[in-house]
Amino acid sequence: METFALSEPVLLVLLSLAEQPRHGYSILKDVESMSGGRVLLSTGTLYGALQRLLNNGWIERVEEEETPRDRRTYRLTTRGLRNLQMEIERMRHLTKMAALRTARKEA
């Protein structure tokens, strides 16, 4: 399996969308809330990430007729969810290994 690592803002954006489809401002606030106010995304950073995620097919726009153009909703695709799960698995393995190593050091 090829391993990869997501940056923290992208991981938080994906986690935010994993819960439910959201629009831009909702993602911004959710990321801030999830990180305990540590990660504050600017609109430039957020939409840069969204554009790349859209281009890679990790997320998609929810097509709704009554949705205004300035408040479009995004959701995770199957591909995005699969890649997010891989990343979570990678992090789980990393934390497990870190716990083992530090425990060995303490012993």
Taking the complex as a whole, the smallest distance from the CB of residue 2 to another protein amounts, in Å, to: 4
The number of residues that bind another protein (CB under 8 A) is: 37
Residue 59, beta-bridge partner list: 76
| Cα dist from 89 to 35, 45, 46, 93, whole Å | 20, 26, 24, 6
Site for another protein in 4-63 (CB under 8 A): 4-10, 23-25, 28, 40-52, 55-56
Q: Which is nearer to another protein, 37 or 106 (CB)?
A: 37
Beta strand spans in the chain (E): 22-23, 59-62, 73-76
Q: Binding to another protein by residue 72, rule CB under 8 A?
A: yes
Angle at Cα 9 formed by Cα 7 and Cα 14, nearest 5°?
95
Contact footprint for another protein (CB under 8 A): 1-10, 23-25, 28, 40-52, 55-56, 69-72, 79, 82-83, 86
